[in-house]
A and B are shown apart, each in its own frame.
Chain A
């Protein structure tokens, strides 16, 4: 089976029902997407499928075939960080950063659809992403920052 990830084709053999997260992490060594819960409740595993944020732990690898998958590793373009990554760096958001990939992917998806989100919009759309270190206010600030560019 083929998966199109970050504009690159990969041949993979998922076992039955294997999640996209598992394939990314264990077969393809794309470990930027994190495991936090395996039940769609934390957002650490968030990737984009055709531009929309999905929880890769709840997505069967099979169902992603033929679609355009973007992971945190694919955000950088020509050695340049994505504006959302830049904004997160600028605001110096994180503590342990384990939530970072999921937060950034969710933010990218949000800004694709809603380039000028209100604080309310941001809070609502990030609700499924957990940050245990409590960097939420800085995440909101970084997304606002990114929405300016």
Chain B
């Protein structure tokens, strides 16, 4: 990871700070033959474009994030290290390029997430693709278009002003001459750096961007033809399986692999704590794994029942970066008219992407190629470099479009494991995690304890705000409401379970606690929760989403039916704004909470693809329902007790309410990411709706895995 990138990472993105789980003993001979030759070059993937790079060599390598190439046939290829994991970024980025190059989207091929072909990219995370990669590609495409027009100008000795571009063809309006891009690029080898001052198409003149272009490659997905890593097969490929510890905190005391080694065509690798097998079929690999006798030493580990006390006790010093102290909060609290002091408890939850982790690795001499479903192909390349002690230029990581991530695939475990097995087997090896492995050894959204003390005047002005988060993280911890005195702190903890990024990071927890307390303050004040929020907000964009959601929901002109309740909540992260209104009903018999309707207003600047944005908002709301109502990881003494879809409940069709979205299109504002923030509103909105329906204020996530006793 590059130095300055450390600053961009939130403390709760633990998986990005952590070293890979293994450190394979080095092959000294190889080490000296490769690294010993004295080659220590900062070699980025972009170097693979060879001498052509010199034109941009003044630009720091990590700012060269994308390339666009226009071939002799006018074929346009975009190279970006971003990863497609279901957020449909392949489509949005293609739209941006198509817009500037004035071609239909299907003329664009996107080469993504391949360390050998695409420039370095720190990873597809934190909703950064659209706000950062988008503008770069836009400028690159506009620069390319201008370059082509200039070439035509020269070729025709024409006046620049009389040239126009449409559909990949440059036309001279005066003479009627025309030439396609391919005609211009033929036989040329020209490379230019991006022109920072290039004219890009203003949002109100967008024709391709801003429209609902369908998912590119859509057909390959509905026909089952798309090859996810878990589907891939190479000639002679073996299937790998890894010996897992019986619990968190267990270490390997002894292992007997002799029986497995004797099995036909089986490769067994034992390297430090890594024990794995590879065999010609998954069945044979499973048999070999069973034949391994291992003895583990477990250490005392907390169970779910005591996790919140544990986190509180083990919490360290408040993290300076996510700490904000203003005024005298103790005094302000003491003198407030209305006071609330409350503690919230947030469980660990799993991303449970439908495609579990998968990696396929192949060594050819000293060169390693790994295909893996990750949001950070270049990060995995660095991990591989670290664990195998081989130069980065010998490692290629390819990320085919992946069966989703939600922040849960920032790492490359399966790829590393496959590579280790493949090295000994001298054949390609594929490792696909089982659902149980995915539920157990991938990282979780952190559990957390949140303590809030808030005070307000009797006219509904929030005057004091004290907020401590233990373990979840600092994202979304700042309050968007105006408060004179506040103390907001994140206290990191060494988590007993492996934890890391989750869609929206800690904001899912922090916004939940904050919006719950805001709701309860409004109740104490006998004020309408919407009015109360608006009264304490200055940020117009937040007010806009609140009002838009309320209007579409009918907040001001509807009353909940008997046994039903309404709730509202809002949040902001990464430059976008969300507000959700929810209606719930409690089933008389089962006490189960049923969300009837959820209306979410979202604003993320200028909209690039309305359908895909709507899909992201709906998806966030539905995924968020799981964490809101019933998802939680149960564990005892370091062992995960519910590592299966039959025991870990995720939202299904019957859980899905009427999901409505209001998308505010701010054409005057730059587009930012939309894959995370829309998840923030649903949990607190549902919680507040339950309070409205039953008078019961809940303080946990999930809110009601077993229903609500009324």
Per the bound structure, the CA–CA distance linking A38 and B214 in Å amounts to 32
Question: Which residue of B87, B224, B612 contacts A101 across the interface (Cβ within 8 Å)?
Answer: B224
Closest chain B residue to A139, Cβ basis? B653
Question: Which residue of A81, A98, A137, A138 contacts B354 across the interface (Cβ within 8 Å)?
Answer: A98
Per-residue CB contact flags for chain B residues 201-234 toward chain A (1 = under 8 Å, else 0) read 0000000000010110011011111111011010
Question: Which residue of A75, A130, A136 contacts B223 across the interface (Cβ within 8 Å)?
Answer: A75
Q: Beyond A39-B645, A89-B222, is A26–B282 a contact (Cβ under 8 Å)? A: yes
B224–A100 CB distance below 8 A: yes
Question: Which residue of B228, B619, B621 contacts A95 across the interface (Cβ within 8 Å)?
Answer: B619
The count of A-to-B residue pairs whose CB atoms sit within 8 angstroms is 167
B230–A35 CB distance below 8 A: yes
**Does chain B have a CB within 8 A of A54?**
no
Residues in A with CB closer than 8 Å to B432 are 35
Which residue among B219, B354, B406, B611 has the maximum number of chain A CB atoms within 10 Å of its CB?
B354
**Does chain B have a CB within 8 A of A22?**
yes
Residues in B with CB closer than 8 Å to A41 are 644-646
B621–A98 CB distance below 8 A: no
B659–A137 CB distance below 8 A: yes
**Does chain B have a CB within 8 A of A133?**
yes
Question: Which residue of B281, B618, B622, B644 contacts A37 across the interface (Cβ within 8 Å)?
Answer: B644
Chain B contact residues: helix, strand, loop or mixed: loop
Per the bound structure, the CA–CA distance linking A47 and B281 in Å amounts to 22
**Does chain A have a CB within 8 A of B69?**
no
**8 Å CB interface, B615-632 against A:** 615-616, 618-623
**Does chain B have a CB within 8 A of A123?**
yes
**Does chain B have a CB within 8 A of A85?**
yes
**Does chain A have a CB within 8 A of B317?**
no
**8 Å CB interface, A90-112 against B:** 92, 94-101, 104
A72–B223 CB distance below 8 A: yes
Q: Beyond A22-B282, A38-B435, is A132–B650 a contact (Cβ under 8 Å)? A: yes
Q: Is the interface on chain A under 10, 10 to 19, 20 to 34, or 35 or more residues?
A: 35 or more
Which residue among B219, B221, B615 has the maximum number of chain A CB atoms within 10 Å of its CB?
B221
Least Cβ distance of B482 to chain A in Å?
34
A132–B352 CB distance below 8 A: yes
Question: Which residue of A15, A96, A132, A135 contacts B283 across the interface (Cβ within 8 Å)?
Answer: A15
Least Cβ distance of A139 to chain B in Å?
8
Per the bound structure, the CA–CA distance linking A85 and B230 in Å amounts to 22
Residues of chain B at interface, number, CB under 8 A: 58
**Does chain A have a CB within 8 A of B85?**
yes
Q: Beyond A89-B214, A123-B654, A127-B652, is A81–B223 a contact (Cβ under 8 Å)? A: yes
B233–A29 CB distance below 8 A: yes
Closest chain B residue to A105, Cβ basis? B224
Least Cβ distance of A57 to chain B in Å?
10
A134–B620 CB distance below 8 A: yes
Per the bound structure, the CA–CA distance linking A94 and B403 in Å amounts to 11
Per the bound structure, the CA–CA distance linking A58 and B421 in Å amounts to 29
Question: Which residue of A34, A97, A126 contacts B86 across the interface (Cβ within 8 Å)?
Answer: A97
Per-residue CB contact flags for chain A residues 59-90 toward chain B (1 = under 8 Å, else 0) read 00000000000011101100001000100110
Per-residue CB contact flags for chain B residues 338-380 toward chain A (1 = under 8 Å, else 0) read 0000000000000111111000000000000000000000000
Per-residue CB contact flags for chain B residues 83-100 toward chain A (1 = under 8 Å, else 0) read 001111000000000000
**Does chain A have a CB within 8 A of B246?**
no
**Does chain B have a CB within 8 A of A117?**
no
Least Cβ distance of B445 to chain A in Å?
14
B404–A104 CB distance below 8 A: no
**Does chain A have a CB within 8 A of B71?**
no
Q: Beyond A89-B218, A132-B404, is A96–B656 a contact (Cβ under 8 Å)? A: no
Question: Which residue of A15, A22, A81, A98 contacts B219 across the interface (Cβ within 8 Å)?
Answer: A81
B224–A73 CB distance below 8 A: yes
A133–B404 CB distance below 8 A: yes
Per the bound structure, the CA–CA distance linking A44 and B651 in Å amounts to 15
A104–B222 CB distance below 8 A: yes
B282–A85 CB distance below 8 A: no
Which residue among B88, B224, B226, B659 has the maximum number of chain A CB atoms within 10 Å of its CB?
B224
Per the bound structure, the CA–CA distance linking A31 and B221 in Å amounts to 12
Question: Which residue of B223, B402, B650, B656 contacts A85 across the interface (Cβ within 8 Å)?
Answer: B223
B403–A96 CB distance below 8 A: yes
B652–A25 CB distance below 8 A: no
A130–B645 CB distance below 8 A: yes
A94–B656 CB distance below 8 A: no
A92–B224 CB distance below 8 A: no
B354–A36 CB distance below 8 A: yes
Per the bound structure, the CA–CA distance linking A140 and B657 in Å amounts to 12
Q: Beyond A98-B403, A104-B222, is A38–B434 a contact (Cβ under 8 Å)? A: yes
Question: Which residue of B212, B227, B352, B615 contacts A138 across the interface (Cβ within 8 Å)?
Answer: B615
Residues in A with CB closer than 8 Å to B621 are 134
Question: Which residue of B231, B354, B356 contacts A31 across the interface (Cβ within 8 Å)?
Answer: B231
> Could you write out 16 A-B pairs with CB less than 8 Å apart?
A34-B228, A36-B645, A39-B644, A41-B645, A72-B224, A92-B212, A92-B612, A94-B215, A95-B615, A96-B86, A96-B401, A97-B226, A98-B404, A124-B653, A127-B652, A130-B354
Top 7 nearest A-B pairs (CB, nearest first) are A32-B224, A96-B86, A134-B622, A98-B403, A134-B619, A72-B224, A31-B231
User: What residues of chain B have their CB less than 8 Å away from a CB belonging to chain A?
Assistant: 85-88, 212, 214-215, 218-219, 221-228, 230-231, 233, 239, 281-283, 351-356, 401-404, 406, 432, 434-435, 611-612, 615-616, 618-623, 644-646, 650-654, 656, 659
